[in-house]
Structure 1
Amino acid sequence: MDNDFLWWRDGVIYQIYPRSFVDSNADGIGDLQGIRSKLDYLQGLGIDAIWLSPIFPSPDVDFGYDVSNYLDIDPKFGTLEEFQQLVEDCHQRGIRVILDLVLNHTSDQHPWFVESRSSRDNPKNDWYLWKDPSPNGGPPNNWQSVFGGSGWEYEARRGQYYFHMFYKEQPDVNWRNPAVREELVNVFRFWAERGVDGFRLDVFNDYFKDAGFRDNPAKLGLRPFDRQQHIHDVSQPEMMPLLKEIRSVLDSYPQRYAVGETFLGEDQAKTAASYCGSERLHAAFNFSFTHCKWDAGQFLRAIQHWENSLGDDAWPTYVLNNHDVRRSASRYARGEDDRRLKVAAAMLLTLRGTPYLYYGEEIGMRDIKVGRSEIQDPIGKHYWPFFIGRDGCRSPMQWNAAKHAGFSQATPWLKVNPNHATRNVESQQNDPRSLYHFYRNLIQLRKDLPALRQGMFLPLVHEPRYILAYLRQTQTQTVLVALNFSRRRLPLMLSGRMITGQPWKLALSSREDARAELSGTRLDLAPYEASIYAVNE
């Protein structure tokens, strides 16, 4: 590995949904001690950082995304001391720690809101977004909640409405209040002082709303929320000075990092890119891959649009999975066949940008099927049967073939996928041809080949139907990535300028009999083959 390695830029980040990773105390819910028990596994996989979905005290109306205390750990996950031990254990293994900060809203049980809602003359009167009713007694404007219904909830004790972009139990804070701003910016300092290396900012571009609370214009859409142009309740210009302030705080600590979850936006890539830079966020998520069909052309267009949207001082991120979307294995794989997943993994881990993995992605975990009575996710309960929620992608990690997949000795909070008897970490570690080993080898390849971390991205097939092929290139090294999205054997024709004085050496392939060297102008790709070749100048 070269001396220029920067963990958040050149490394691989692994998202853990703590409730579902490992349960150490047999209460059916994953916890910090469970995560600590698997750090050797994560180190062996080769990842460089873990991102923990929220672990702060919470009533769990939205499973941790309704925070009631930003400066502590929820008892169901452990203690502040145990978290400190986790950070130290990670650092000893060269693993960084990223926390998920939910700063757009709090829980309605947060002491700030309890005080704010009590009366109009209390010290925290305007810590949230309060407005008088409209002349007809209804909500102050037409803003909707993304989870359904009006975004305004009436509070009789104040005779006013408060705004909530999400559940009514998640009131949005007033970032325009200097006292609120100071408290929330200090959250970064609190955790950075405790060794936290980075922060994932939940729906960060939703922090500010239009100061005049103007109605959103109408547009065509299915749900009421989708029938509005969200120009007044998200992505306000006041966000830019705040990002500069947050970046200044982070830059006062060594190698601290912030990545933002871009919320809404007609063009998400351009919206995300606008918030990245030397005085803004280090990076932001672009979720275009989670919407792509199994189509080489769609993926290439998403990559090129993302690359073209970013400024010179911004860095891409790529993600196939997270806690809010169907797993890529459920979207793309056919049955238990993992060939497509190896193609997707090779793409994710060889592009120019920081790859984010989601727990279980490395063993091809599929979504669980959830019946109505089994739904845990409140969104699923609200929208059933049109949308069953996000439980499918949040099932317990499949460690082995035991009754509860090695996740817990007790009944898990969410059921385990029945396929854990054959699809689990233990079985895949014992199979050198498994998806797990392919991920592990890809991650190691990123460490071994500088071009995969920092090289230019140069597509070879500009209007692909079935083959996605590109070069990653530095001044001293060129890497060829060839991905066949088809179930048919197909040729990749290479231009004469790619033929150098020395042959390309095979670096990694999903195909056991792949050519060890490449020196001609044609590379025949087997169905769903992912092959990587390298040559040094």
Structure 2
Amino acid sequence: CETVILHVNGQEIETQPQGDAFTAEVQLTAGSNQVNAACTLPGGGEVRSDPVTYSVRLRQAPTAVIHIALADGQFLLDGSQSLPAEGTQAAIVDYMWSAREGNPVRLQEMVGEVKGQSISITPPTTDGEYYVRLRVRDEAGREDTSTTYFVVEDGQPRIPDYDSENPTWVETAVVYGVIPFLFGSPAFQAVTDRLDDLVGLGINALWLAPINVHPADDYGYAVEDYFELDPAYGTKEDFRALVQAAHERGIRVLMDFVPNHSSDTHPYFRDAEEHGQDSPYWDFYDRDASGNPTHGLPDWTNLPNFNYDNPEIQRMMIEAFSYWVRDFDVDDFRVDAAWAIRERRPEFWLPWRRELKRIKSDLLLLAEATAREPYYFENGFDAAYDWTYQVGGWAWRIMWDAYKLRLLSYNLTEALTNRPEGFHPDALIFRFLNNNDTGRRFITRLGEGINRVATALLLTLPGIPCIYTGDEYGLEFEPYQQLEPLVFEEQFLGLRDYHKKLINLRKSVPSLHSRLFSIITPDPVPQTVYTYIRYGEPSDTPVIVLLNFSEEPAEFQFDVPEQFNTLPGGSSLYDLLAEENLPALSGGRMQISVPAQTARVLAAQPEA
């Protein structure tokens, strides 16, 4: 070739021929880029290569960055550290600030959009979280938005620790785990159709099992494309409509995201398998000394680990998470196999958190990893699983697997306290009776009576409780075995209303959604009973929870907790669950009867 001209998206670019090859530096744009080469032959004539399509997943846009400071009683918000679009010289020309809807009171300086590289805000005196957005636009018209927040607490303003604090909505979160294809077909529409039922139940967050593209015979954890949705579930517009409909009902949406590994049918992995080290994706995957892909889950050889020592993988995955937040308003993430990335690249998670929180600062980031490890709460996550130190080891399993629930009280105390190590001060524990990995449903294995008491345990403990697909109806199935949509009809009379009442109590009684509790040790009773007190601020009404898993009635006797010392002698307590008064004091001690396989949630009698 005398000359080689590259045609890139209709533009001609001269190259530097070097023998049988040529080089050129080309700026690709976000989306699909059509590239081919034209060779000019000696003496005339031209030969063109077949076109090649390069898909760029990284968007080309500026990056809005907010720096917040508190000085002289004013919040100073500065956007001057915002960055131009990568690979361009297009300057940022507009900085536009606005208050997010839903703040406790209006910010007096924020009426509509306020223009300027920086702004000053007078802190309100009303307690709560206040969210402010910055939208930047560059010369090419490209935009980006960032969000931050500040806190007013006891009338005093403060800047939260964004690396560790979680937003206050999490304290009253009740998550509902959704297996989309079991709701009907197409799945996104079927889930949308059930939102009113879920609102009626009282949940305020949906955890969607994996919805990215995956093989037809897979549950969803073998991802083939992180930027696309399984077409069997519906279109991107269907998903956007689901998220919007959930938000209109006060429900947040968590995506189940799978950053540790891909499917072995992912185009990147297939290219690496076909071309070996000549593939540009060879180094996208973690490999042993022999060049074989590694697997965080040894039994799942179809799930090769990504190589998080490769900056391109880190960038790709952060962009994949961000895409669903920016473009679809996804609220939160459950992060599959977070523990496995920690083993290979422990420093990855904190920069990941900072980028996601830059976009949407009230995100909940849930690690599929044990809450017993302080690491997760110091490195990017708000919450983690109620596991033992063993991967996938449900902390409560030992209680239910014991013959006739022997040592239940002892085993439950061990699970709730993790003694002697305890939990990180910021530990927020994700609790459940069922999820995708627990096999047969809890009610199938242990029956309705124990299921009811365990549900009361789940919904009255500190942490984030999860009700999983069909729990409230007593549906019996196994997630990885069930292929046909479920029929959401009550299998046990009154079970849905029982869930609804407990959820309502959790959300409406401040002590039940605080992070504070104390175990009460009653006089010698069977190991199949358990009791604890829930309390919060001094002004909050304390609550005693009594759980009788036994098939026999139980009499609970114990010293009066200090939170109840003001009860007059002979006073009764009110069972918030059964809605009845109960004699509670006898001889200066608590003495309360609990029927077989029953839970009581007791508080001081409400004022007439």
What are the residue-to-residue correspondences of 1:259-408 with 2, within 5 Å? Answer: 259-262=366-369, 268-271=370-373, 273-277=374-378, 279-286=379-386, 287-293=394-400, 294=405, 295-305=408-418, 309-325=422-438, 326-333=440-447, 338-367=448-477, 390-391=480-481, 396-400=485-489
1:50 alignment partner AA: L
Task: Give 1:327 deviation, angstroms.
Answer: 1.5
**SS of residue in 2 equivalent to 1:106:** coil
Question: Bigger CA drift: 173-182 or 519-528?
Answer: 519-528
Structure 2 residue aligned with 1:177: 310
**SS of residue in 2 equivalent to 1:85:** helix
1:501 alignment partner AA: L
**SS of residue in 2 equivalent to 1:51:** strand
Task: Give 1:332 deviation, angstroms.
Answer: 1.5
Coordinate RMSD, CA, aligned = 2.6
How many residue pairs are counted as aligned between the two chains? 414
Change (3 A) 1:306 1:72: farther
Equivalent-residue separation in structure 2 for 1:534 and 1:307 (angstroms): 31
Contact kept, 8 Å, 2:252 with 2:331, in 1: the verdict is yes
2:354 alignment partner AA: S
- The superposition leaves residues 320-355 of structure 1 with CA deviations (integer Å, 9 ceiling, x where unpaired) of 11011132112221xxxx222110111000001110
Structure 2 residue aligned with 1:106: 262
What are the residue-to-residue correspondences of 1:77-476 with 2, within 5 Å? Answer: 77-119=233-275, 120-131=277-288, 133=290, 160-166=291-297, 167-193=300-326, 194-207=328-341, 235-236=343-344, 238-239=345-346, 241-252=347-358, 253-262=360-369, 268-271=370-373, 273-277=374-378, 279-286=379-386, 287-293=394-400, 294=405, 295-305=408-418, 309-325=422-438, 326-333=440-447, 338-367=448-477, 390-391=480-481, 396-400=485-489, 423-424=490-491, 434-461=494-521, 465-474=527-536, 475-476=538-539
Task: Give 1:248 deviation, angstroms.
Answer: 0.6
Contact kept, 8 Å, 2:172 with 2:513, in 1: the verdict is yes
Task: Give 1:9 deviation, angstroms.
Answer: 3.0
Question: Bigger CA drift: 164-173 or 64-73?
Answer: 164-173
Higher relative contact order (CA 8 A, sep 6+): 1
1:89 alignment partner AA: A
- The superposition leaves residues 364-395 of structure 1 with CA deviations (integer Å, 9 ceiling, x where unpaired) of 22236xxxxxxxx9xxxxxxxxxxxx426x77
**SS of residue in 2 equivalent to 1:501:** coil
Task: Give 1:171 deviation, angstroms.
Answer: 1.5
Are 2:223 and 1:67 aligned? yes
2:481 alignment partner AA: D
Task: Give 1:8 deviation, angstroms.
Answer: 2.6
Are 2:547 and 1:500 aligned? no
Equivalent-residue separation in structure 1 for 2:576 and 2:452 (angstroms): 11
**SS of residue in 1 equivalent to 2:200:** helix
- The superposition leaves residues 390-441 of structure 1 with CA deviations (integer Å, 9 ceiling, x where unpaired) of 426x7743324xxxxxxxxxxxxxxxxxxxxxx44xxx6xx5xx11111000
Partner of residue 485 from structure 1, selected from 546, 549, 573: 549
Structure 2 residue aligned with 1:408: none
Change (3 A) 1:99 1:186: same
Equivalent-residue separation in structure 2 for 1:491 and 1:339 (angstroms): 18
**SS of residue in 2 equivalent to 1:275:** helix
**SS of residue in 2 equivalent to 1:72:** strand
Change (3 A) 1:131 1:254: closer
Equivalent-residue separation in structure 2 for 1:447 and 1:204 (angstroms): 29
**TM-score, structure 1 as length reference:** 0.72
Task: Give 1:261 deviation, angstroms.
Answer: 0.9
Equivalent-residue separation in structure 2 for 1:179 and 1:118 (angstroms): 20
Contact kept, 8 Å, 2:371 with 2:428, in 1: the verdict is no
**SS of residue in 2 equivalent to 1:97:** strand
Note the residue ranges of structure 1 that are not aligned, 5 or more in a row.
25-30, 134-159, 209-234, 263-267, 369-376, 378-389, 401-422
- The superposition leaves residues 111-133 of structure 1 with CA deviations (integer Å, 9 ceiling, x where unpaired) of 22122223212222211123454
Structure holding more helix per residue: 1
Note the residue ranges of structure 2 that are not aligned, 5 or more in a row.
1-103, 105-126, 130-166, 387-393
**SS of residue in 1 equivalent to 2:576:** strand
Question: Bigger CA drift: 345-354 or 312-321?
Answer: 312-321
Percent of paired sites with the same residue: 29
**SS of residue in 1 equivalent to 2:260:** coil
Equivalent-residue separation in structure 1 for 2:582 and 2:432 (angstroms): 30
1:506 alignment partner AA: Y
Task: Give 1:471 deviation, angstroms.
Answer: 0.3
Structure holding more strand per residue: 2
Equivalent-residue separation in structure 2 for 1:163 and 1:50 (angstroms): 32
Question: Which structure's CA Rg is the greater one?
Answer: 2
Contact kept, 8 Å, 2:575 with 2:581, in 1: the verdict is no
Contact kept, 8 Å, 2:229 with 2:235, in 1: the verdict is yes
**SS of residue in 2 equivalent to 1:533:** strand
- The superposition leaves residues 96-123 of structure 1 with CA deviations (integer Å, 9 ceiling, x where unpaired) of 0000011111112222212222321222
**TM-score, structure 2 as length reference:** 0.64
**SS of residue in 1 equivalent to 2:229:** coil
Contact kept, 8 Å, 1:483 with 1:529, in 2: the verdict is yes
Structure 2 residue aligned with 1:8: 170
Equivalent-residue separation in structure 2 for 1:331 and 1:306 (angstroms): 28
Are 2:597 and 1:528 aligned? yes
Contact kept, 8 Å, 2:332 with 2:363, in 1: the verdict is yes
Equivalent-residue separation in structure 2 for 1:453 and 1:96 (angstroms): 18
1:484 alignment partner AA: N
Equivalent-residue separation in structure 2 for 1:526 and 1:250 (angstroms): 49
Equivalent-residue separation in structure 2 for 1:528 and 1:101 (angstroms): 38
